[in-house]
Structure 1
Amino acid sequence: MWVITVFANENTTMFEFDTEEEAREAFKKISGFTILTEVVYFNDPCFA
């Protein structure tokens, strides 16, 4: 899961995405201070 956190006009908004590609596309279009984060869970298959 990918999350974009936006800090703008004294508000904080978070958007969730399933893929990195769609998150990066949205990230380019959002104004304000933005943070793109990948959420990794300890039970994800990559850690098996």
Structure 2
Amino acid sequence: MWVITVFINKDDIKMYEFETEKEAREAYRHIRGYKLLTEMVTLEPSPALVTI
């Protein structure tokens, strides 16, 4: 998942989520203001690492 975080002012932050990098980069070009493009990565624990 890709996320664009836009800082409009000190009290207003908007976040947009995208499934692909291509979608996110296209939207990034059209969004005005201070913005960050981030790839969100989630890791699932390996069964061998989980202890009960």
Tell me the TM-score normalised to structure 1 length.
Answer: 0.83
Bigger proportion of residues as helix: 1
Structure 2 partner of 1:34: 35
* Runs ≥4 residues deviating over 2 A: none
5+ long unaligned stretches in structure 2:
45-52
For residues 2-43 of structure 1, the C-alpha deviation after alignment (integer angstroms, 9 at most, x for no partner) is: 000000134100000000000000000000000000000012
Counterpart of 2:9 in structure 1: which amino acid?
N
Superposed CA RMSD in Å reads: 0.8
Seq. identity, %? 56
- Gapped regions of structure 1 (runs ≥ 5): 44-48
